[in-house]
Chains A and B, each alone.
Chain A
Amino acid sequence: DIQMTQSPSSLSASVGDRVTITCQASQDISNYLNWYQQKPGKAPNLLIGDASNLETGVPPRFSGSGYGTDFSLTISSLQPEDIATYYCQQYNNLPQTFGQGTKVEFK
């Protein structure tokens, strides 16, 4: 199985801060990577597909980049509604696997 390692596991930031979450795959996954946002009691919500394609309706302050084994999700200016846990997921190989999550909290 491909292991997806996210860092950090949690972070504290202030409104307006630039936040970056990284995701490293244990082997090359090309650009077959999704990013999700999950709020408490809700299902994950797809933010970015194919490593960098913003889903319809997702604010442009979210962006994704990377290829191969190293990826990142950036929130350019953190907003109160962005407090959530973020997950990466690879779909290059079966089984499709998820990172362990990054919890974003307010400082």
Chain B
Amino acid sequence: QVQLQEWGPGLVKPSETLSLTCTVSGYSISSGYYWAWVRQSPGKGLEWIGSIYYTGTTFHNPSLQSRVTVTVDTSKNQFSLRVKSVSAADTAIYYCVRQWHHWGQGTLVTVSS
């Protein structure tokens, strides 16, 4: 079955870059669907960050667009998220998603010095 797993540092310093990768198993990213990043924080609830198609076509939330990069590596069956210039407001659980049926378990990222 389709499984997604996020991985990356759980602690990031303010002003630095948050980097996460999602490894997909049980399905080839190149076979289709959009692949998304969603985050959840107590203050802002669920927030869509951005989505990517295997061709590299991306869409981002305008509230984050200037700081966010979503990329895909079909050879590794992975997609990734980078958020630059983070602050405490970026502290959240980050989920990778195969829109919208399959979600990773989520990974907590804390922004703190």
Contacts and interface: CB of A to CB of B under 8 A. Distances in A.
B100 A43 contact: no
Contact of A98 (B46, B59, B62, B63): B46
* Listed residue (A34, A43, A89, A91) with the most chain B CB atoms within 10 angstroms of its CB: A43
A34 B48 CA distance: 14
A49 B100 CA distance: 9
A99 B40 CA distance: 12
* Listed residue (A42, A55, A94) with the most chain B CB atoms within 10 angstroms of its CB: A94
Contacts, number: 38
B45 A101 contact: yes
At the interface, is chain A mostly helix, strand, loop or mixed?
Answer: loop
Interface residues of A, number: 20
A26 interface: no
A50 B36 CA distance: 18
A95 B61 CA distance: 5
Contacts of A71: none
A34 to B, nearest CB: 6
Interface string B78-104: 000000000000000001000011011
Contacts of A91: 100
Given A91-B100, A94-B59, 5 more contacts: A43-B105, A44-B95, A55-B101, A95-B61, A98-B48
Interface of A: 1, 34, 42-46, 49, 55, 87, 89, 91, 94-101
